[in-house]
Structure 1
Amino acid sequence: MKDLWGAAITDSGRTTRTPSEARGRAAAGPPVAVRSPVVRFDAAVRAAVGQGLLSETRPVAGFIDTDGVRASVAALREAFAHSPGVLHTFAAKASSLVPVLRLLADCGMGCEVASPGELRLAVDAGFAPGAIVLDSPAKTREEIRLALALGVAVNADSIDELLRIDALRNRDSPSVLGLRVNPQVGGGAIGPMSTATDTSKFGVALRDPGARETVVRAFGERPWLTRLHAHVGSQGCPLELIAAGVAQTYELAEEINERLGTRQVASLDIGGGLPVNFTGDTVRPTYAAYVDALTAAAPGLFSGRYALVTEFGRSLLAKNGFIGARVEYTKDAGGRRIALTHAGAQTATRTVFMPESWPLRVGAFAPDGSPKPGPVLAQDIAGPCCFAGDVVAHGRELPELAEGDFVVLYDTGAYYFSTPWAYNSLPRPAVYGFRATGPGGEVTFATVRDAQTLDAIATESGLGHADALTGLGGG
């Protein structure tokens, strides 16, 4: 693969529920109750402190529960078990870390990617090209050319992109090719996470004048175009809205095949987007409830008439990870207690800027890593970034924090520590996977990503070109 990339390519447990228990009761079913995060993760926090993974010199790190990840994948598979021909892909943007992607590949997942970088990571992680799906609203010709050469599935985001594929496609390419449509079924509670609004930048807007006929004609002119893709949104989008978008896509596939007189559309990529409950311990909605909603909205979806592709990300990992951070200082200001920690906007960007949409639960731990006892006090949990709004939790009732204590941000296994923000040139935190092993529940860690060094920060900031601007002369 060297010619394609220009460089050589190298080839306490979270829960005790079984896959069938994770699926929940038939129909909508109740949420799947899991143990409190403190109970699930307190052994890992204590072990991380004991082994020096969290300390004064290592003040922040991310942690991933590998048993929890495997259980979430099992629950997803169980929910779709009655449907033949389903490829479950993981949205790489939710955790763009090669060891995490390789774990998911080992679980039998495929991978959905949305950039050349994510495609490279997916290949490095070991996903077969045929199990990788490329989605992006701004694919370059080079990106399309590479995907087709690898045999990666590609969902075109527009008619103009189909014209590019016309020019670049080799008829011998094994890539499955599809077209993304926007069913325009509306938005959820978080506007930026809603991708099926009237003016969404994604896909071909089906309800715009003439658009539906344009899509049918595009398929008629391209016998190799065999997949329809839609993704309604994620956090803040109710199941009924997501299911309505999938149903619209299913009906369009039926219309295309009927009008063309052949079953040209052979597969449907129904996206992902299952919301996560950030306010409590229960897993809701469940994958089983999602399948029930899809069945109600599009009864023929699981008949086997179409192969299916899913693209879940946050729902697989969020509750299987946490951020641990040391308390550096505490202070009082205007009658408010503030704990200054090393977990702020650089690791919890969405929560800092949209706290009502992305709330996080916080746990308090003593310097030895044990859950901190004592009476509670309303406290702000602030981060290290140099702007006033860098607060991850406001007025939380927690045991009084002090220097040397640790806080834990729960439900951060997706997006948070895996894709940090480089504000203030703060180093990327280390990330560790863990699982409970042995009869005594000992916790074993494995390094997923080393903490970024100051040398690496300087290199990324142009150290090797330090004299470039002064060398231009002037002044």
Structure 2
Amino acid sequence: MFFHGTSRVNEKGHLEIGGVDTVELAEMYGTPLYIYDVALIRTRARAFKEAFHRHGVQAQVAYASKAFSSIAMVQLAAEEGLSLDVVSGGELYTALAAGFPPERIHFHGNNKSRDELAMALEHGIGCIVADNFYELELIEQLASGRAVPVLLRVTPGVEAHTHDYILTGQEDSKFGFDLNNGQADEAFRRVMASPSFQLLGVHCHIGSQIFETAGFVLAAQKVFTKMAEWNKAYGFIPSVINLGGGFGIRYTEEDDPIPVSAYVDCIVKEVKRQAETCQLPLPEIWIEPGRSLVGDAGTTIYTIGSRKDVPNVRTYIAVDGGMSDNIRPALYGAKYEAVLANRVLGERTETVSIAGKCCESGDMLIWDLALPEAKPGDYLAVFCTGAYGYSMANNYNRLPRPAVVFVENGDAQLVVKRETYEDLIQHDLPFKAKVRK
């Protein structure tokens, strides 16, 4: 068993987060319920920023809001002085609705629409990360005489040690201009030749849930090699290098993440070395942590329902959520740890598997979890669900999406309401049968 941030066991034997009893939260707001430890998010954000500050370099730490986007979360990121990475019109709209400074917004995505780009330009966001030639055409059509700040997203051919489905830096990728087949050079020449662009530099992202720094070093080397070629041939001087995110967190005892400062120290050291080697001014360094800011700050509380004992095989314990609020186990085979929130210190007398309530045999949250004897009405707390839980939640089987609560210093604040059955049908229209003659 392990805890993150402000999590602890209180005098009632209940799981407490941010000074608030999670059992009381479950009874007040219902389950499933996402609970976020605000203090832990602040600590992580400040650790990234302070690591760069110690090196005395210009940097932007942009929260990758795809991990968890809501008005309250965006406002928290703004309060901590972060920049913001968005990947859709919906995430951009949320950021603007939250009052986030548009000049600190970076717009990603491999298929930005004309309307999405128009929205970004209308609000003067800080940077568009250009992903393909079609997008360059759209920006030129929409620029209206402006020089739009852009980064070129490149695929450096670097593979991170992570799940195949979330690798993005290798050559065979839907993202970016390839460094090795001439696409990046063609994109560079096109951007430099057009008054519609202000090329800031280059972006790359090599994967997710990364526990080492070697991939970032190799990516920086490849990107600088290309930028040095452009400098020699065209006099281009990059003002920004963005090395993406993917910094890992601890989901289970098997995971062994390195400190935030270790990633930053390595990145800054290598960027400085490469800038000196390539005889380029030191560019501003941008990174994009998402999961590493919010992942282990989130805990999902479920209510336990049915039990199925399969003699000599396993015992299934079902909860009132599942792949509708956490699709990662079904999608990636992701692993989690959990405890009974109302009996954290109870003796673990049985090994069970936690099943979701969706009508899919693959809707399993955790296999082989040691727990005290679980009974209907107990509360199960699943740790580290803060990234890609709510943001990937869905209405499969017409299940309403859960509420989200922020906790900090003994206070709880509802920041996303639970969906109702009425919400589920609000966009449905009745079928009008044609009258047969």
Indicate whether 1:337 and 2:315 are aligned: yes
The 10-residue stretch of structure 1 (78-87 or 93-102) with the greater mean CA deviation from structure 2: 78-87
Indicate whether 1:143 and 2:116 are aligned: yes
CA shift for structure 1 position 102 = 0.7
Pick aligned residue for 1:446 from 398, 407, 413: 413
Aligned to 1:129: 102
- Secondary structure of 2:33 counterpart: strand
CA shift for structure 1 position 142 = 2.0
1:38–1:363: 8 Å Cα contact kept in structure 2?
A: no
What amino acid is aligned across from residue 430 of structure 2 in structure 1? A
1:363–1:409: 8 Å Cα contact kept in structure 2?
A: yes
TM-score of the two chains, using structure 2 as the length reference:
0.89
Aligned to 1:359: 335
What amino acid is aligned across from residue 234 of structure 1 in structure 2? S
2:48–2:264: 8 Å Cα contact kept in structure 1?
A: no
Aligned to 1:432: 405
Aligned to 2:291: 314
Q: Distance in 2 between matches of 1:312 and 1:179?
A: 19
Indicate whether 1:273 and 2:246 are aligned: yes
1:90–1:313: 8 Å Cα contact kept in structure 2?
A: yes
CA shift for structure 1 position 259 = 1.9
2:353–2:368: 8 Å Cα contact kept in structure 1?
A: yes
Aligned to 1:287: 260
Q: Distance in 1 between matches of 2:236 and 2:174?
A: 31
1:224-239 correspondence to structure 2 within 5 Å: 224-236=198-210, 238-239=212-213
Aligned to 2:85: 112
Q: Distance in 1 between matches of 2:103 and 2:27?
A: 43
1:401/1:228 CA distance change after superposition, 3 Å: same
CA shift for structure 1 position 217 = 2.0
Q: Distance in 2 between matches of 1:158 and 1:301?
A: 26
Aligned to 2:214: 240
2:210–2:246: 8 Å Cα contact kept in structure 1?
A: no
Aligned to 1:18: none
- Secondary structure of 1:76 counterpart: helix
- Identical aligned residues as a percent: 26
1:388/1:344 CA distance change after superposition, 3 Å: same
Q: Distance in 1 between matches of 2:4 and 2:367?
A: 27
Deviations 1:399-442 (A, max 9, x none): 11111111111011111134312111111111100013xxxxxx
Q: Distance in 2 between matches of 1:38 and 1:293?
A: 36
Indicate whether 1:206 and 2:169 are aligned: no
CA shift for structure 1 position 473 = 4.7
Deviations 1:65-84 (A, max 9, x none): 11111001011112211143
Indicate whether 1:64 and 2:30 are aligned: no
Q: Distance in 2 between matches of 1:296 and 1:106?
A: 28
Pick aligned residue for 2:156 from 161, 183, 206: 183
CA shift for structure 1 position 60 = 1.4
CA shift for structure 1 position 395 = 1.3
Aligned to 1:347: 325
Q: Distance in 1 between matches of 2:99 and 2:50?
A: 24
- Secondary structure of 2:362 counterpart: coil
1:83–1:302: 8 Å Cα contact kept in structure 2?
A: no
- Secondary structure of 2:21 counterpart: helix
Indicate whether 1:458 and 2:425 are aligned: yes
- Secondary structure of 2:357 counterpart: coil
Q: Distance in 1 between matches of 2:396 and 2:220?
A: 38
1:187–1:237: 8 Å Cα contact kept in structure 2?
A: no
- Secondary structure of 1:397 counterpart: strand
- Secondary structure of 1:459 counterpart: coil
Indicate whether 1:54 and 2:31 are aligned: no
What amino acid is aligned across from residue 168 of structure 1 in structure 2? L
CA shift for structure 1 position 390 = 1.2
1:220/1:267 CA distance change after superposition, 3 Å: same
1:219/1:359 CA distance change after superposition, 3 Å: same
Pick aligned residue for 1:80 from 46, 52, 61: 52
Mark the runs of 5 or more structure 2 residues left unpaired by the alignment: none
1:161-180 correspondence to structure 2 within 5 Å: 161-172=135-146, 175-180=148-153
Mark the runs of 5 or more structure 1 residues left unpaired by the alignment: 1-12, 16-34, 437-442
The 10-residue stretch of structure 1 (266-275 or 239-248) with the greater mean CA deviation from structure 2: 239-248
CA shift for structure 1 position 331 = 2.6
TM-score of the two chains, using structure 1 as the length reference:
0.82
Pick aligned residue for 1:373 from 346, 368, 384: 346
The 10-residue stretch of structure 1 (383-392 or 272-281) with the greater mean CA deviation from structure 2: 272-281
CA shift for structure 1 position 235 = 2.1
Q: Distance in 2 between matches of 1:471 and 1:253?
A: 62
2:7–2:15: 8 Å Cα contact kept in structure 1?
A: no
Q: How many equivalent residue pairs?
A: 423
1:172/1:353 CA distance change after superposition, 3 Å: closer
